[in-house]
Amino acid sequence: MLPSYLTKITRSRITYNFIKILAMEMIRVEKVRAKNNVAIVQLNRPNVLNALCEQLRNELTAALKDLDKDDSIGAIVITGSEIGADIKEMQDKGFVDMYMNKSAENLDDISAIRKPIIAAVNGFALGGGYELALMCDITYAADKALFAQPEINHGTLPDAGGTQRWPRVAGKSLAMEICLTGNRLSAQEAKQCGLVSKVFSPDERGKMILFEKVVAEAVKTAEKIANQSPLVVAMVKEAVNSAYELTLQQGLRFKKRLLSNIRCCEFNSLVTLIVTLM
């Protein structure tokens, strides 16, 4: 059965690979909207505030890779009420265990997904939880959401890319403060420094609780993206992400090559149309 907030978004049946859903214990995957072209991936460990244990990270990565191959899906929304790393899972592991563990690297594979991913954050996004959001392309947040890298308080450091992605988005000074103190950022503060694109407050008419509103708005944006050309969407995502790794001139040349590919595709389509009309 669909969760209540999904029922308000759509009444279409689930058509995603049902066998794989049954095999996944810690996430839910639903296809929504009129064309079933948006996927919602919901983290499902509510009893431990969706702590990112190894199994959850592996299931999430596997699901996203499957959705990336699904031609019917144009965009993805990831959500969960609270998200953070699973500290208990780490307490009995020594240096060799942590060093050889590849689950954090597997989580980093999310940044290589070609389809746009929107993070819908409702509550705490701490440590690995916010590093997960940083891997997404767009982040929407409830006004009560909080963001932090508290690893310093546990005698360790962010292991899913936080030390590298924070400076690229928010600058060195704020990244240093957050990673060295464990201080929390409010949703509005996160928006001001570019970590979040939109912040939502409770519905004044009381028709939709805040969590539902954030997810619904994320799905609305995802549907708009999913209705665009899949090829151009993938190219835009690749071009924007390249700005983090290339100089301005390198990025402009990369964009020019992508644009040339699009024009080549348009020309080939025109030739095909002319031939069919002959």
Could you tell me the maximum CA-CA distance found in the chain, to the nearest angstrom? 72
Distance CA 144, CA 9 (A): 22
User: What is the predicted pLDDT for the residue at 80?
Assistant: 79
Give the Å distances, CA to CA, from 111 to 29, 71, 105, 231: 19, 19, 11, 18
Q: pLDDT class for 92, splitting at 50, 70, 90? A: low
Q: pLDDT confidence of 37, banded at 50, 70, 90?
A: very high
- Integer angstrom CA distances of residue 154 from 91, 108, 178, 180, 275: 10, 22, 14, 11, 66
Token pair belonging to 34: 């009129």
Its pTM surpasses 0.85: no
User: Is 231-277 CATH 1.20.5?
Assistant: no
Give residue 232's pLDDT: 87
First-residue to last-residue Cα distance in the chain? 52
Average pLDDT over residues 247-263: 75
Q: What percent of the chain has pLDDT over 70?
A: 70
Query: Is the separation of the CB atoms in 131 and 158 below 8 Å?
Result: yes
Mean pLDDT of the chain: 76
Whether 123 and 82 have beta carbons less than 8 Å apart is answered as yes
Give the pLDDT of residue 16. Answer: 42
8 Å CB contact between 142 and 210: yes
With cut-offs at 50, 70 and 90, classify the pLDDT of residue 278.
low
Tokens of 65: 């890779």
- Annotated catalytic sites, by residue? 85, 128, 131, 151
CB atoms within 10 A of CB 156: 14
Residue pair 93/101 in contact (Cβ under 8 Å)? The answer is yes
What are the distances in angstroms from CA 132 to CA 35, 53, 158, 206?
27, 13, 11, 30
Is 4-228 a CATH 3.40.50.300 domain?
no
Instruction: For residues 231 and 227, give the distance between their C-alpha atoms in angstroms, rounded to a whole number.
Output: 11
For residue range 46-79, list pLDDT tens digits in order.
665 556 677 888 888 999 999 999 999 999 999 9
Q: 147 and 188 in contact (C-beta within 8 Å)?
A: no
Q: What is the pLDDT of residues 192-243, one digit of tens each?
A: 988 999 999 887 665 567 778 899 999 999 999 999 989 889 989 988 888 8
pLDDT tens string 103-156: 555 667 888 899 999 999 988 888 778 888 888 999 999 999 999 888 888 787
Q: What is the pLDDT of residues 148-194, one digit of tens each?
A: 888 888 787 776 677 778 788 878 898 889 889 988 999 999 999 88
Domain chopping of the chain, boundaries: 4-228, 231-277
Per-residue pLDDT at 137: 95
DSSP 177-221: HHHHH---EEHHHHHHTTS-SEEE---TTSSS-HHHHHHHHHHHH
CB 128 within 8 A of CB 160: yes
Matching CATH topology for 4-228 and 231-277?
A: no
**CA pair distance 220, 160, nearest whole angstrom:** 29
Backbone angles phi, psi at 101, to 5 degrees: -70, 125
pLDDT attached to residue 191: 94
Q: Name the 3-class secondary structure at 153.
A: helix
